[in-house]
């Protein structure tokens, strides 16, 4: 019987993870089944327990359960501890192992797929929730020169920045006026409301990149605003999705699939 895996979230019907992992399995000769599991907002741990009892071997975790997955894990990877969030669970005889592959996925997409070297870059990370927290360690490890976390409510940005002090600074949106960045990442949920963060104009340096963590939405309000404001390139998070999935697949199966053909397939679709 194929080993069973799943993505757990709420909502989850839109997730491309089953398609991605099916393609990974086909290309690497692995025998797996991968499904979507819609967990009630107050029933994440019960959903995980039921899936394990039914023979599940591991799961990806998406919004809004990454912090709950962190708390549920019996053991944690170093990057999950630094991110204080878990997006990948592996079930074994020792319990639940929690990992966070989001940051590795983002850096791989930026540097390998997009050819955007991060060392020394001025980076603005918009948003102070779990998505932002999950990628900061990997951005720091990649050697960014400056990392500013900006949020509509400044205290949340300050709280997140303190967790990585002194290498991360906090800012409100208005205080960004006059600053310029090489990379601006939208880690807010504004796109789900068909809106963009209320950022000041003039943020984009020559040759800059605007990166939307959401995917499959076409040109989002954030990307449209960035293009009008002078961003050199705009891109969504589809590559990050595939790269973080490849990291999860490696954790589960011991082999890292080639991501480039899967990204091309999804872009074509």
Which residues sit opposite 96 in a β-bridge? Answer: 91
- Other Cβ atoms within 10 Å of 56 Cβ, number: 21
Q: Give the pLDDT confidence score for residue 220 in this predicted structure.
A: 95
- Other Cβ atoms within 10 Å of 155 Cβ, number: 11
Q: What's the rounded Cα separation, in Å, for the pair 234 and 58?
A: 33
Q: Give the pLDDT confidence score for residue 66 in this predicted structure.
A: 92
66 belongs to the catalytic site: yes
Q: What's the rounded Cα separation, in Å, for the pair 31 and 25?
A: 6
Query: pLDDT tens digits, residue range 64-80?
Result: 899 999 999 999 999 99
Half-sphere exposure of 221 (CA within 13 A, CB side): 12
Given the residues 66, 82, 90, 133, select the one marked as catalytic: 66
Q: What's the rounded Cα separation, in Å, for the pair 119 and 107?
A: 11
pLDDT band of residue 27 (cuts 50, 70, 90) is: very high
Chain-wide mean pLDDT for the chain? 96
Q: Give the pLDDT confidence score for residue 191 in this predicted structure.
A: 87
- For CATH 3.40.50.10860, the residue range(s) in the chain are 3-100
Query: Which fold would CATH assign to domain 3-100?
Result: Rossmann fold (3.40.50)
Q: What's the rounded Cα separation, in Å, for the pair 188 and 28?
A: 34
Q: What's the rounded Cα separation, in Å, for the pair 73 and 64?
A: 16
Q: Give the pLDDT confidence score for residue 55 in this predicted structure.
A: 97
Query: pLDDT tens digits, residue range 42-57?
Result: 999 999 999 999 999 9
Query: First CA to last CA across the chain, in angstroms?
Result: 30
Contact in structure between 90 and 115 (CB atoms under 8 Å): no
Q: What's the rounded Cα separation, in Å, for the pair 163 and 228?
A: 34
Which residues sit opposite 123 in a β-bridge? Answer: 147, 183
Lowest mean pLDDT among 100-104, 118-122, 187-191: 187-191
Query: pLDDT tens digits, residue range 206-257?
Result: 999 999 999 887 899 999 999 999 999 999 999 999 999 999 999 999 999 9
Query: pLDDT tens digits, residue range 110-142?
Result: 999 999 999 999 999 999 988 899 999 999 999
Q: How far is CA 55 from the centre of its chain?
A: 27
CB contact set of 57 (below 8 Å; sequence gap of 6+): 3, 4, 5, 90, 91, 252
Q: What's the rounded Cα separation, in Å, for the pair 218 and 220?
A: 6
CB-count burial class (<10 Å; 0-12, 13-18, 19+) for 111: middle
In the structure encoding, which two tokens stand for residue 100, read together?
């966070």
DSSP label at 31?
-
Q: Give the pLDDT confidence score for residue 37 in this predicted structure.
A: 98
Q: Can you say whether residue 263 is alpha, beta or left, with left for phi > 0 and alpha for psi between -120 and 50 degrees?
A: alpha
Query: Which fold would CATH assign to domain 103-239?
Result: Rossmann fold (3.40.50)
Q: What's the rounded Cα separation, in Å, for the pair 68 and 64?
A: 8
Q: Give the pLDDT confidence score for residue 189 in this predicted structure.
A: 87
């Amino acid at each position: 019987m194929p080993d069973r895996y799943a993505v757990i979230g709420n909502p989850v019907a839109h997730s491309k993870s089953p398609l991605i992992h099916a393609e990974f399995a086909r290309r690497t000769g692995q025998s797996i089944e991968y499904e979507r599991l819609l967990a009630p907002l107050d029933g994440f741990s019960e959903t995980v327990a039921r899936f394990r009892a039914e023979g599940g071997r591991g799961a990806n975790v998406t919004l809004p359960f990454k912090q709950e997955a962190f708390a549920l894990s019996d053991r944690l990877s170093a990057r999950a501890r630094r991110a204080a969030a878990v997006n990948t669970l592996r079930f074994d005889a020792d319990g639940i192992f929690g990992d966070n592959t989001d940051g590795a996925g983002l850096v791989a997409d930026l540097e390998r797929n997009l050819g955007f070297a991060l060392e020394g870059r001025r980076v603005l990370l918009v948003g102070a929730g779990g998505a932002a927290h999950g990628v900061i360690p990997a951005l720091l490890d990649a050697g960014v020169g400056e990392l500013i976390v900006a949020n509509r409510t400044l205290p949340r940005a300050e709280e997140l920045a303190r967790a990585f002090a002194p290498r991360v600074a906090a800012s409100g949106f208005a205080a960004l006026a006059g600053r310029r960045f090489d990379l601006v990442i939208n880690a807010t949920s504004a796109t789900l409301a068909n809106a963009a963060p209320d950022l000041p104009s003039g943020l984009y340096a020559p040759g800059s990149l605007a990166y939307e963590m959401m995917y499959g939405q076409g040109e989002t309000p954030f990307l449209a605003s960035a293009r009008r404001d002078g961003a050199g390139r705009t891109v969504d998070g589809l590559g990050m999705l595939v790269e973080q999935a490849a990291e999860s697949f490696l954790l589960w199966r011991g082999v890292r699939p080639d991501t480039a053909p899967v990204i091309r397939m999804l872009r074509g679709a």
